[in-house]
Amino acid sequence: MAHAAPRPQLTKSAGGRPRAPDVFDERTHRAARVVVPLLLALVFGFWAAANRRYGGPITGWNLLFGFLSALVFFVLCLALQSVAPKRGPVAHAALWAAFSGSAVGFLVRQANETLLRSAWLGLVVAAGVFVLLFYRYYARKDAARTREATEPRDDTSMGRAGPFG
């Protein structure tokens, strides 16, 4: 005889709806908010330095350029993490799109490409990131608005015991 597979216990959200459990604790999330931009910055710095040396030997100036590029990327990424979520969906997506487009344009320019080509590729990447993130942030905001509208109201928070009392 076949039996149903056991389902994991779902926690309840603030509205009483089931929510999937969070695998990582709050400390892991706080660490990831710094570690992920740091790793991305190191990759960005290495990539910029590699593009700039055009296949030649690695020099001290090349290493300095890579580390400075990584530092600027890291600082800007952390600043955007703190500023962008406080904006609306359009501004939030536009800030990240401008950041990613300028980063790609910078990398392309370091590869000794023309300014027009690097600007064009940066704009294409920025437009793609904007469309993707705008959809994501707007859909999340719309889902939260729908969730608030469909949740049952708790009349006890208004100081009454119920609708008649």
pLDDT for the residue 139: 79
Lowest-pLDDT range, 31-40, 76-85, 135-144?
Answer: 135-144
**pLDDT, tens digit, 9 for 90 and up, residues 89-102:** 889 899 999 999 99
For the chain, the structural domain boundaries read: 34-147
Cα torsion 112, 116, 119, 121: sign: negative
**How sure is the predictor about 163, in pLDDT bands with cuts at 50, 70 and 90?**
very low
Cα torsion 19, 22, 26, 31: sign: negative
Q: What is the pTM of this model?
A: 0.72
**d(C-alpha 7, C-alpha 48), whole Å:** 48
